[in-house]
Amino acid sequence: MNQKEKRKERLDRGIKVRCDGIYALMSLREMAYLALPRLILIVGLMVAPFWITQEYWQRVLTVACVYALLAVGFDFLAHYVGLVSLGGAFFVGVGGYVSAVLNTSLGLHPLLSIPLATIISSVICTVLLLPCLPLRGVYFAIATLLYPLLAGRIIEALNILGGTDGIRGVEGIPGHYTPIYIAIISGLLFMFGLRRLVNEDIGLVLRAVKDNDQSVRASGINVTRYKALGVFLCALGGCFAGASLVHIYMWAGISLFALDFSILPIAATVVGGAYTLVGPFLGCLILVPASEFLREFGTLRIVFYSFILLAFIVLKSEGLFNFAQRKYHQFERWVEV
């Protein structure tokens, strides 16, 4: 009796055509297929505060979404503009202090001081980083790393803005779920907004600046202006994160310039997947709760944390999102040989 041999065949789902930005949608089923991953992320985050009953883990979710703003901004600036920034802590610190001053000195409500401080702080950070824009690669990264270090030491040495004690008496955001949903909605809007931006004409120019800025300059385009725009957009996310944090913790201090705000976005980008914008967001949703779970190990948590990052770098260097996206767009079936 003859036995038919079988082999596994992998097929690509025939929806994307011509390029990544053009789809051939033939039915509601295919539209649902494309919308499903986005709906899972959005709906999952919107219902998570009600599903997580403990206030501590609700705060962890809030902080994870705040870190996601930094991670998405880092991925955008590094992989779409070509500027690897280690100054995430600088954006957080400036945004936090400006919002704290607006609230304590001018008496502005947190829901007003946060967006106002975001705009003011983003402009300040962009102006201060203008001298570094001609730098590229590791030189720009080192220069931006110095900014939060200098800012913290200046505040401590001159004893300004509360010195080492920080600014106390910052008003908290009213409502139990308000801070959570501010972080979630702002993170989603920032991520999807940048995804839309990079696919527009301005995104093409930014990527051209990343690939060959000399050719762009030869075309008569002001490269410095577009780099400054990229820094400003990245600073918007970081400064909003800092402004939100001071009202969540009701205190602004030198710890806002801690290097954790510069390092964790890089780790989240490695885990989630670079050049995706969504990957760093997912990376923060994984790493921030993981670091909280590891707190019970004391100082050993750094060792476990390092092993987790090393495992992702060695085994899944492309990142979780790129891996999951490839698997989602492909399916396997057994066929007779």
Per-residue pLDDT at 99 = 95
Question: Could you identify the residue written with the tokens 């944390």?
Answer: 305
pLDDT in tens, 270-282: 888 888 899 999 9
**Alpha-carbon distance 163 to 156, whole Å?**
5
Q: Is the pLDDT of residue 74 over 90?
A: yes
Is residue 20 scored above 60 in pLDDT? no
Which pLDDT does position 297 carry in this prediction?
A: 76
Spatial CB neighbours of 53, under 8 Å, sequence gap ≥ 6: none
Give the end-to-end CA distance of the chain in Å, rounded to a whole number: 16
Taking only the tens place, the pLDDT of each residue in 32-51 is 777 888 899 999 999 999 99
223-273: pLDDT as tens digits: 999 999 999 999 999 999 999 999 999 999 999 998 889 888 988 998 888
Average pLDDT over residues 170-192: 92
- For all residues of the chain together, what is the average pLDDT? 86
pLDDT confidence tier of residue 284, bands split at 50, 70 and 90: very high
Residue 115 φ/ψ, nearest 5 degrees: -65, -35
What is the pLDDT, as a whole number, of residue 18?
41
- pLDDT, residue 23, reads 54
Question: What's the pLDDT score for residue 1?
Answer: 44
Average pLDDT of span 53-80: 92
**What are residue 330's DSSP bridge partners?**
12
| Contacts made by residues 19-27, CB under 8 angstroms, sequence distance 24+ | 21/199
What are the structural domains, with CATH classification, of the chain?
6-26+54-336 (1.10.3470)
pLDDT in tens, 113-145: 999 999 999 999 999 999 999 988 889 999 999
Residue type, 306: S
H or E segment to which residue 8 belongs: strand 6-12
Q: Which amino acid is at 269?
A: T
Q: Give the pLDDT mean for 179-207.
A: 92
Q: Which residue do the tokens 């106002």 mark?
A: 116
Residue with the bigger pLDDT between 316 and 238: it is: 238
pLDDT band at 12 (very low <50, low <70, confident <90, very high): low
Two tokens, residue 8: 């596994």
pLDDT greater than 80 at residue 155: yes
pTM over 0.85: yes
What is the percent of the chain with per-residue pLDDT over 70, rounded to a whole number? 89
